[in-house]
Amino acid sequence: MGSIRSLVLMQLIILLNVILTVKASTPAVAKPGCRRRCGDVIIPYPFGTGGDCNITAGFFINCDTSFIPHKPFLGDFEVINISTDGQLRTLSNTSYNCYNTSYRNWLFYDFRFFEFSINNNKNKFTAIGCDTYAVVQDFYGQCYATGCLSFCNNITDVSNGSCSGIGFCQTSIPKDVRSYNISLGSYGYHTDVLLENPCSYAFVAEIDNYTFSASDLRGSEFQRRQFPITLDWKIGNTSCNEAKMNSIVNALIQKNSGYLCKCLEGFVGNPYLPNGCQDINECESMSPCNGTARCTNLPGTYNCSCPVGYEGDGKKSGTGCSLPNKDQSKTSPLIAALGVAIGFLGLLLGIVLWCWMLRQRQISKLREANFQQNGGILLREQLSKRQGYREDVKVFTAEELEKATNNYNESRILGQGGQGTVYKGILADNQIVAIKKSIIGDPSQVDQFINEIMVLYKINHRNVVKLLGCCLETQVPLLVYEYITNRTLFHHLHNDDATSYLSWETRLRIATETAEALSYLHSAASIPIIHRDIKLANILLDDNYTPKVSDFGASRLIPSDEAQITTIVQGTFGFLDPEYMLSSLLTEK
């Protein structure tokens, strides 16, 4: 007798252990102590059957125990399914309008919810009848109304499953509709089809849950039909924070306020409950690994590992597990060596690039220092004021002039003298210019260079060489002039070449125009300018033998209130005024 009791006790312990194991592995659906199902329908939180079991009154499910099995109701509508992904399925009734020879029998249903909206993608408005027009519209001022027409001469004209408007029509429901009211009418009171089709019907139903049949037009039995309808629900003015006890729940914000919660991938359960999402053991439920691989379950995922000596990801859906290919093993060192070589080349390229960037930065700093040392800031300020200066003056960059002269190639040299070297340059717009690279023996001569710039910027005369701009970014400042094609007056007067012969008339014109240029410099300019180095080599000629006075390195500005100033004697000996040479008094004479 004692052995029987021991056996029964052991069986009870085993049964209790199985029950607890199953309960522990089953995700929670409802709140603790709340009904988790009503009849055949599971009631997940935030829905509930009263008290604290539902999140708000709008999520109350009335479980009617008078039915066998019990039936859940949301308001007046029977619920057939609730899912935690934001959808609920209920049953809708059929509105009808029936006629006979003496009276009319009709019943129009409405559908009203405050918390939920009709899913416009899964439901449609449907009307049936051979003399029917049907309208569906809202109750709550959302201002929508839609409908359709259905006609047929007799039932033989109707095709089963066809939505052609012959005996059957459908139309879509607007988005976010929370209520509807159906009305039906007939143009001829079904007089012509009374025997075959005495009634018109209309309803909202899931698209996949009704297929039209000609038999639906006969008699009045169709008026007792109910159809599933899908509703969308969400939680308003709250979030998933209460349920989000860990990082395995996502909060999905809906467009018109409200929230939905969802377990992360690899988890299953009710995300609205604390610890409602449980890990899926993919190793047991899916058997995702290759036969030789070992499956390890991880939170939200899994891992397949191949045996020692095998390669691959171990997954059935992947590469599985296989022995390594011998040819591949031979090429592995080569691939490794190639990888090292590529890495070394990448490192070398990176070092070269870094050095180049460092060099460019140093060049940029040097150019900026040269620009400041060469008086660039002062020049820029004066040019910005544009007081008496031409509008076409430009400050060039060192890079522009290097490209223009092919890096100051000797083949581009036009001439050399005491003031510097002149190069032929071609700018980016194909304009040909003369670029003067001044010779400055000491920093004090920078003032002389800036002096030439300031003088030429104020000059605008046809017989004076035109200054186009300057560059102060180089150690030796540069001037950019218009290019004069026919060399100097000195060349034409002292060259034995017959092509350089100048008539007396041309010589006289050159002398006159040169004198006019000097007169302009002495009197017509806003501030008188004394050249101090007029000679044949400083008078350039164009193709028409028009003279251009150039080389203003020794020029000075004479203040308007002074007739003469004292200066250090500058110029070319043999061309200097004897009085100026002896007295150092500079005048326009």
Query: In the numeric block, which tokens belong to residue 486?
Result: 């026919």
Place of tokens 């010589």: 507
Q: Which residues are registered as beta bridge partners of 124?
A: 172, 205
Indicate if 138 belongs to the active site: no
List the catalytic residue out of 131, 232, 533, 551: 533
Residue 58 φ/ψ, nearest 5 degrees? -70, -15
Nearest to 254 by CA among 116, 145, 144, 112: 116
Dist. CA 235–CA 258, nearest whole Å: 5
Nearest to 111 by CA among 175, 174, 180, 59: 180
Residue 353 φ/ψ, nearest 5 degrees? -65, -40
Residues 6+ apart with CB under 8 A from 373: 443, 446
Is-cis flag, bond preceding 46, omega within 30? yes
Query: In the numeric block, which tokens belong to residue 223?
Result: 């008026």
Quick one: angle between helices 446-457 and 376-385, nearest 10? 10
Dist. CA 211–CA 561, nearest whole Å: 109
Whole-angstrom CA distances from 227 to 90, 183, 204, 391, 421 are 8, 18, 8, 85, 99
What angle is formed at CA 91 by the lines to CA 85 and CA 95, rounded to 5 degrees? 140
Nearest to 250 by CA among 241, 258, 354, 356: 241
Q: Where are the beta strands (DSSP E) in 475-581?
A: 478-482, 529-530, 539-541, 547-549, 556-557, 565-566
Query: In the numeric block, which tokens belong to residue 522?
Result: 């002495």
Query: In the numeric block, which tokens belong to residue 412?
Result: 């581009």
* Contact yes or no for 473/371 (Cβ under 8 A): yes
Burial 91-110 (b: 16+ CB within 10 A, else e): ebbbbbbbbeeeeeeeeeee
Look up residue 556 and give its DSSP letter.
E
Dist. CA 346–CA 450, nearest whole Å: 48
Burial class, 193, CB count within 10 angstroms (exposed 0-12 / middle 13-18 / buried 19+): buried
Among all residues, which ones are annotated catalytic? 533
